[in-house]
Structure formats: structure tokens, C-alpha cells
Amino acid sequence: MTEPKHPVRTVDRTIDVLEIIRELDGAGVSEIAERVDIGKSAVHNHLNTLANREYVLKEGDEYHIGLSFLGLGAYARNRTDIYDAARVEVDELADKTGELVNLLVDRNGMGIYLYQAKGEQAVELDTYEGKHVHLHCTALGKAILGFRPREEVTETLDEHGMPSMTEDTITDRETFFDELDEVRKRKYAIDREERLTGLRCIASPITNDEDRSIAAISVACPAHRVDDERFYEELPDTVLGTANVVELQYNYS
């Protein structure tokens, strides 16, 4: 990400405040001041301005993200070509599998859940549309990185690291690059309880006409309910088929 030549410090601080509130799922003035490293009175000024425009909401002693962001987020998502191409197919895949289906894009080396659809047996997770995740520990992220140049993947790992989310998270780079080689060969990626214990996912990239990933689609299911035969033999073909349809719509519609 290119740094601006003349950043506006006040805007930077406001965004820092908002990101801390999101990260902590609600935060008080003292907590924010400590993390942003500015005085409490300055934090109050930021929060009062945001609250006046309903971008944050005060609940007791904590501030939370307000609904005013919902309209902006929906507008931004609806302007994304891949959302328009994939939404119906994501819904149909959720109905067909009965599971949770996700559409992920990447921005500045992190994954962003762009859209979700829930089948009848969909598991409830900590994910939501707009949530940011590391790419190395998800099938979606591996599907995206598997169709990017190695130099670009290295830059992403340099910037964001490979934090261990569970005991199964891949944190060794060479092992991870071996995994990406497999992803590229079979055109789907596997999350073996690497982000959340008890959750497995199959994901396939959506690529443009230059074979570069622009997004990924996944099916997420609890490890205890979905047996190996369905997970390793049935779901990959199902996800690949959906991704292929989306690619055709995105590239040639």
C-alpha cells in the first residue's frame, strides 16, 4: 500500500479509533487513548464527533461501531464487480450443500469477507461481511495466494506475518509455499482447522483471464459432522463448479 505524501493526521487518528473499536468489539475512552497514544480529551473529541454523525454508538462506558457505516459498506460492496457476478451462485451453493458459503476478496494483504450465505445446516461462526482475516490460515486466503506471484505472496507474509491461530495453523514459510503449489495444481485449497479448531473449509479461487485470483469462494463445515469422503471427494468438485460459473460471468458477461 502506497503511503500518502501529505497524510492528514486527524483523519489518521479517527480511523485508528474506529479500527480499535472494531478490533475490541467495543472500547472505552481510556482503552482507546492507551492504544492510540493520545490524550483522553482528544479521544473524547473524536468519539463525540463520530457519535453526532451516528458512526459510533455509546453503550454504557463503551463505544461501538454505528449503523451509519452500514450504508457506506453496502454501497462499496455493490460497486464491486465480483459481488454482482458471484452473489446468486453463492446463494445457490449454500442451498445445495446446506453449509456456510463465503466470498472473500483481498485488500492490502488481508482478506475481507464480501458476502456470506447460509444453508440449512450452516454453522454459526465469528465471521461476518466486512470482517478482515489473515490469508495464510484460511482456505479462502490460500486459494487467492496460490494464484499470485511468489514475490507478491512473500511481501504479504513480510507485512502481516503468519500468526498461529490454532495448533494446526501453518506458520513455516517453506511448508506454506509447498501448500500453495498444491493449491495451484488442483485449483482448490483446504483449511484443516487452521483458523478455528473444529472447522474445515474447501475454497476455490476466482481468476481473471490472466489466471490471477481476484476472489475466492468456500464452503465451511464442522469437522465432526462432515466425513472425509464428502469433504475431500464431493465438496471440492462442487466448489470448483461454482467458481467456474462465477469466473465465466465475471470475465465474459
- Can you give the pLDDT at residue 71? 78
- Can you give the pLDDT at residue 1? 54
Looking at residue 14, its amino acid is T
- Can you give the pLDDT at residue 103? 97
Distance CA 49, CA 29 (A): 14
Distance CA 127, CA 130 (A): 9
CATH 1.10.10.10 occupies which residues in the chain? Answer: 9-66
CATH of 9-66, one of 3.30.465.10, 2.60.40.1170, 1.10.760.10, 1.10.10.10: 1.10.10.10
Residues 6+ apart with CB under 8 A from 72: none
CATH 3.30.450.40 occupies which residues in the chain? Answer: 75-252
For CA atoms 172, 145, 239, 105, give the dihedral sign.
positive
- Can you give the pLDDT at residue 106? 96
Looking at residue 189, its amino acid is A
- Can you give the pLDDT at residue 178? 97
pTM over 0.75, yes/no: yes
Low pLDDT (below 70) residues in the chain: 1-7
Indicate the angle between helix axes 173-186 and 150-160, nearest 10 degrees.
140
- Can you give the pLDDT at residue 11? 86
- CATH number, domain 75-252: 3.30.450.40
- Can you give the pLDDT at residue 144? 98
H or E element that contains 122: none
Q: Cβ of 151: how many Cβ atoms within 10 Å? A: 8
Distance CA 189, CA 22 (A): 29
**Which residue is it, cell 473524547?**
44
Residue 68 in grid coordinates: 451509519
